[in-house]
Amino acid sequence: MIRSVVVGCGSYLPERVLTNADLAKLVDTSDEWIVERTGIRQRHIAAEGEQTSDLALHAAKAALANAKLSADEIDLIVLATATPDETFPATACRVQAGLGMTRGFAFDVQAVCSGFVYALATADNFIKAGQAKTALVIGAETFSRIIDWTDRTTCVLFADGAGALVLKAEEGAGSINDRGVLTTHLHSDGRYHDLLYVDGGPSSTQTTGNLRMLGREVFRHAVVNLADVVKETLAAVGMQATDIDWLVPHQANKRIIDGTARKLGLSTDQVVLTVERHGNTSAASVPLALAEAAADGRIKRGDVVLLEAMGGGFTWGSALIRW
């Protein structure tokens, strides 16, 4: 069978760093509260005029260089974002143009913080169906643009960044020993709109709107949904938690990540944690973490890597990859 093998990854963080101490000057919060409740110590914020496609383009170029491929060898770009440059066209098309890529096709997917897992599943299915042989899968966000900077319950959490993977079709035996994406699992439940949403949009208010979240409620659902989807993922391929080398979770809250790792019986050094330095970068958080752990040599060829994420919609999902 055809497998989508990861042949490169890259990431980009805007230069400007915003610390918890900086935030304590803006709203009634403290470094102690943010670290204790979330694990976040600092985050990166895009410069004025720096757009989601700019961050995505940096990450895409880094991933292509890492894969030793040129843009004209890519058939498909799937870009996950909830903060596109414009209502349309897709930010993916701006990245395509920025790469100088005049063939193939590019589109965005919108599943908020689960976006990268959705984009990866989408690209994997295009590759398995034979409609693309190579794909660039990107998660890129400028959440700083949709944050209400007077709301301490959300402005301390979210941030900006981008990460990208390059997938390439390779023939596999159809077993769990194959390299590549082994399985993906996606879920959504639209009944939970009011717990995490943006209060604006082209068709509703004709404004961009601001992020609104009932954090405690989202937390409660995240813990349950992530545990369920991880169980479903392992069962689908007949693996045990002990087969996992690395957990690369969506980086929303260290407490959620610790809880998921504990349930799986994974040690903390098997978890790729970036939330302390990146904050919650929504669809960018998983590929940012992947790129970091692949670049520093933690994730090695042949390792089993479990990705999971949960976000607005609600949406949630997971992917299991043999690196």
- What is the contact surface with ligand UT7 in residues (CB under 6 A)? 29, 33, 37-38, 113, 152-153, 156, 215-216, 218-219, 222, 252-253, 256, 280, 310-311
| Residue number with CB closer to ligand UT7 (155 or 182) | 155
- The bridge status of strand 105-109 relative to strand 42-45 is unpaired
Output the residue with the shortest Cβ distance to ligand UT7: 215
Q: Decide if 250 is catalytic.
A: yes
| Residue number with CB closer to ligand UT7 (98 or 215) | 215
Q: CA 196 to CA 293: how far, in whole Å?
A: 29
Least Å distance, CB 72 to ligand UT7, is 35
Least Å distance, CB 37 to ligand UT7, is 4
Beta partners for 139?
Answer: 80, 163
In the set 20, 225, 253, 280, the catalytic residue is: 280
Contacts of 239 (CB under 8 A, 6+ apart): 176, 304, 320
Q: Decide if 280 is catalytic.
A: yes
Instruction: Supply the DSSP string of 22-34, one letter for each residue.
Output: HHHTTSS--HHHH
In the set 66, 250, 253, 278, the catalytic residue is: 250
In the set 113, 155, 210, 225, the catalytic residue is: 113
Q: Decide if 210 is catalytic.
A: no
Question: Which 3 state secondary structure label does DSSP give 134?
Answer: strand
141 contacts 50 by C-beta, under 8 angstroms: no
Q: How far is CA 223 from CA 213, 258, 286, in A?
A: 16, 10, 17
Least Å distance, CB 171 to ligand UT7, is 37
- The bridge status of strand 76-80 relative to strand 105-109 is parallel
Least Å distance, CB 118 to ligand UT7, is 14
Helix (H) or strand (E) segment spanning residue 153: helix 152-155
Rg (C-alpha) for the chain, rounded Å, is 18
Structure tokens at 80: 């996950």
| Residue number with CB closer to ligand UT7 (195 or 306) | 195
Q: CA 113 to CA 118: how far, in whole Å?
A: 10
Least Å distance, CB 198 to ligand UT7, is 12
| Residue number with CB closer to ligand UT7 (57 or 230) | 230
| Residue number with CB closer to ligand UT7 (55 or 211) | 211
Task: Tell me which residues are annotated as active site.
Answer: 113, 250, 280
